[in-house]
């Protein structure tokens, strides 16, 4: 039914999603284009720009057969019957709505390029997360003064989670397709549905209006982030009352109405989406005069910031009120395990603040050190000179006063902490920002252990 698909944007969403479509729809040619030529080169190499478990195999099966990574050309736009837009929609940093609204410049540029070269009748699919009613704006641009068949604009938000992107794409809880509720709109939605039906059961493909689809994505991220902030709020109270937040998570998570996921207390959420999408949601609420609703969602972001500040303060307090010139080993920098993505990782804030306190950091991470380097480049004063990037966690911990665990990579659970303890300054501390390690064992080895939302285990 569709022979040629184009995707504009070869990032964390565009690359893996299109690779999976190509893998599951061998009769469809899938071209993925990006203005970043270096990234295109990486997608065509053995070292993909995105690390995701299982992704290499999917890309290798389809690449060169019916999956192509290229620069964006007029020909590829003209050949496409269906065009996904997967470009970034970061928080706007300038002008009206700065710090809150989504920056849609990349989105609009893509739409205008499509307008210049696409065949009439091409279906345009917004996969980027966008404010409600963006499709309407894009549709206006695409259909301005155009006679004959319209461009149909669909909303098809992506719900994959980084770190499990391939599994999420292979077995999505649902695929959401929003369209105009006209005959043409519904026909376009069915075309897109046909692609997904190659591997997703029909009953898991939901059809809605465009607006519901757009708002569902923002709502989903706001709800997930809200759960994280809610349990983190309780973690602060646990620390004051000697309750244990892990026990509370288990106790409430077994309630079928609540469910167990996203109830792990820690240093807070990160990633390119949660904060950005909530800020955007709150901004939209403000635009519609719903300031109470906007404030409600903003409190989720404020709680996240508070949790990070609390964690840094705890490190300072426990390390005798100063970390100046002390070596601290940071375990994990990506915003979650199994990804090299560090965008809005809490690690950026934690490390920046520790550096402001004049600490010396040895940062370790199995996949994210290149990105960490970029994130911490250009810090004021001599801060950058006090950071070492050390892939080997044993070397990172050598001579350190404390381990600060920020990302719960499985690798960190399996380390020989007896050896690590011997190599560290005493008293040696572990600040477990993800409650990921075996605290009793660490305590028995001699560590002072400071978790989140439960009593610390101290030797003095
Ligand atoms: N990362 C996630 O987990 C996730 C999950 C669901 C939805 N989303 C949403 O998907 C969208 C993309 O996110 P991402 O993480 O893939 O971003 P990303 O920054 O990794 O990728 C976006 C890509 O678009 C390219 N681009 C920008 N303008 C372009 C243009 N005019 N022509 C061609 N290429 C262009 C950029 O060079 C970049 O490579 C965002 O709206 C995001 O909110 C992200």
Report the atom number in ligand 1 closest to the C-alpha of 157: 7
Over 80: is that where the pLDDT of 425 sits? yes
Cβ distance 266 to 433 under 8 Å? yes
* Active-site position among 7, 238, 273, 285: 273
Report in angstroms the alpha-carbon separations of 24 from 45, 173, 196, 198: 21, 17, 9, 6
Could you tell me the pLDDT band of residue 26, with boundaries at 50, 70 and 90? very high
Decide if pLDDT at 232 tops 70.
Answer: yes
pLDDT at position 142: 83
14 CA distance to ligand 1 centroid (A)? Answer: 7
Q: Give the CA angle between residues 252, 254, 257 to the nearest 5°.
A: 80
* 273 CA: nearest ligand 1 atom: 43
Which of 6, 7, 11 to mutate to test ligand 1, by most ligand atoms within 8 A of the CB atom?
11
For residue 113, which atom of ligand 1 is closest to its CA?
31
Q: Domains, the chain, ranges and CATH?
A: 4-200 (3.40.50.720), 218-302 (1.10.1040.10), 309-450 (3.40.50.720)
pLDDT at 147: 60
CB 188 within 8 A of CB 158: no
- Secondary structure of residue 197 in the 3-state scheme: coil
Q: What confidence score (pLDDT) does residue 174 get?
A: 98
- In this model, does residue 407 exceed pLDDT 60? yes
**pLDDT tens track for 278-292:** 999 999 999 999 999
Contact residues of ligand 1, CB 6 A cut-off:
8-14, 33-36, 39, 72, 86-89, 106, 109-110, 128-129, 158, 160, 162, 272-273
Check pLDDT > 60 for residue 367. yes
| Structure tokens given for 338 | 């199994």
Q: What is the pLDDT of residues 243-257, one digit of tens each?
A: 999 999 999 999 999
Dihedral of CA 154/155/160/161: which sign? positive
The pTM (predicted TM-score) of the whole model is 0.95
pLDDT band at 133 (very low <50, low <70, confident <90, very high): confident
> Does residue 424 register a pLDDT over 90?
yes
Query: For residue 19, what pLDDT band results from cuts at 50, 70 and 90?
Result: very high
* Angle made by CA atoms 277, 281, 283, in degrees to the nearest 5: 115
Query: How many C-beta neighbours within 10 Å does residue 415 have?
Result: 15
| Strands 327-331 and 205-209, bridge-based pairing | unpaired
Give the chain's end-to-end CA distance (angstroms, integer).
71
Tokens 């709800």 correspond to 223
Residue 2 gets which letter from DSSP? Answer: -
Residue 398 CA to residue 413 CA, distance in Å, equals 18
351 noted as active-site residue: no
Confidence grade of residue 137 (pLDDT, cut at 50, 70, 90): confident
pLDDT of residue 120: 86
């Amino acid at each position: 039914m569709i022979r040629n698909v184009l995707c504009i944007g070869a990032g964390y969403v565009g690359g893996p999603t299109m690779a999976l479509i190509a893998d599951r729809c061998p009769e469809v040619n899938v071209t993925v284009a990006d203005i970043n030529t270096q990234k295109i080169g990486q997608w065509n190499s053995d070292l993909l720009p995105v690390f995701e478990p299982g992704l290499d195999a999917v890309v290798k099966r389809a690449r060169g057969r019916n999956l192509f990574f290229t620069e964006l050309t007029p020909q590829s736009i003209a050949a496409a019957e269906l065009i996904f837009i997967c470009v970034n929609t970061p928080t706007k940093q300038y002008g009206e709505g700065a710090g809150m609204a989504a920056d849609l410049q990349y989105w609009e540029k893509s739409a205008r390029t499509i307008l210049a070269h696409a065949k009439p009748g091409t279906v345009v699919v917004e996969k980027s997360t966008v404010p409600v009613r963006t499709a309407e704006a894009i549709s206006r641009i695409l259909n301005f003064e155009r006679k004959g068949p319209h461009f149909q604009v669909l909303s098809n938000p992506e719900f994959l989670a980084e770190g499990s992107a391939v599994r999420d794409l292979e077995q999505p809880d649902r695929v959401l397709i929003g369209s105009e509720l006209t005959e043409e709109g519904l026909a376009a939605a069915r075309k897109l549905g046909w692609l997904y039906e190659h591997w997703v059961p029909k009953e898991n493909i939901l059809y809605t209006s465009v607006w519901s689809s757009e708002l569902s994505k923002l709502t989903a991220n706001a709800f997930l982030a809200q759960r994280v902030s809610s349990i983190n709020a309780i973690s602060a109270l646990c620390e004051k009352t000697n309750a244990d937040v892990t026990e509370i998570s288990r106790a409430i998570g077994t309630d079928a109405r609540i469910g167990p996921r996203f109830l792990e207390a820690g240093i807070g959420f990160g990633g390119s989406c949660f904060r950005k999408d909530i800020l955007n949601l709150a901004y939209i609420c403000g635009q519609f005069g719903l300031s109470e609703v906007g404030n409600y969602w903003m409190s989720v972001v404020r709680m996240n910031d508070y949790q990070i500040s609390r964690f840094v303060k705890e490190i300072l307090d426990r390390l005798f009120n100063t970390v100046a010139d002390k070596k601290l080993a940071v375990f994990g920098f990506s915003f979650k395990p199994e990804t090299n993505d560090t965008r809005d990782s809490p690690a950026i804030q934690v490390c920046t603040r520790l550096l402001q306190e004049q600490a010396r950091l040895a940062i370790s991470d199995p996949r994210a050190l290149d990105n960490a380097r970029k994130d911490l480049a250009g810090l004021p004063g001599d801060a950058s000179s006090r950071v070492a990037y050390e892939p080997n966690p044993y070397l990172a911990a050598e001579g350190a006063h404390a381990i600060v665990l920020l990302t719960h990579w499985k690798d960190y659970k399996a380390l020989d902490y007896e050896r690590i303890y011997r190599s560290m300054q005493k008293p040696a501390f572990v600040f477990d920002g993800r409650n990921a390690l075996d605290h009793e064992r660490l305590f028995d080895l001699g560590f002072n252990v400071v978790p989140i939302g439960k009593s610390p285990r101290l030797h003095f």
